[in-house]
Amino acid sequence: MAQSVRLTPSMHGIEKRIVYVLASDRDSNRRYVGLTNDMRARLEWHNAGPCGYTIQHRPWRVLVTIEFPSESTAALFEKYLKSGSGRAPAKRHFGG
């Protein structure tokens, strides 16, 4: 079951920025961290899209989504999760 965290009380009328962590159902050690404003469409793209890292490890499922008030804040958190220092906490907290 995917976890979802909202860091703002209400974001109606504001473009949503979502950081997500996916897990591969094919390879339990594979994770993918990304940024989107439409989680449903993005997951569909990862599972059916024409190219990219995720094509070899399909199907994917959502482990966690975290919604931020701005794209810049979301992008910083995504960058952290993709960094060496962010991978261990992501695995520990968002496991799968």
Domain coordinates in residue numbering, the chain: 3-70
3-class DSSP state for residue 82? helix
Q: What is the pLDDT of residue 26?
A: 95
Q: What is the pLDDT of residue 1?
A: 56
Q: How many residues does the chain have?
A: 96
Q: What is the pLDDT of residue 33?
A: 95
- In sequence order, the β-bridge partners of residue 65 are 4, 20
Whether a cis peptide bond, with omega within 30° of 0, leads into 59 is yes
Strands 17-24 and 31-36: antiparallel
Query: Is the Cα dihedral 24, 28, 32, 37 positive or negative?
Result: positive
pLDDT per residue rounded down to tens, the chain (96 residues): 566 666 554 455 556 699 999 999 999 889 999 999 999 999 999 999 888 889 999 999 999 999 999 999 999 999 999 998 988 888 888 775
> Which positions ≥6 away from 83 have C-beta within 8 Å?
none
Q: What is the pLDDT of residue 60?
A: 97
Q: What is the pLDDT of residue 50?
A: 85
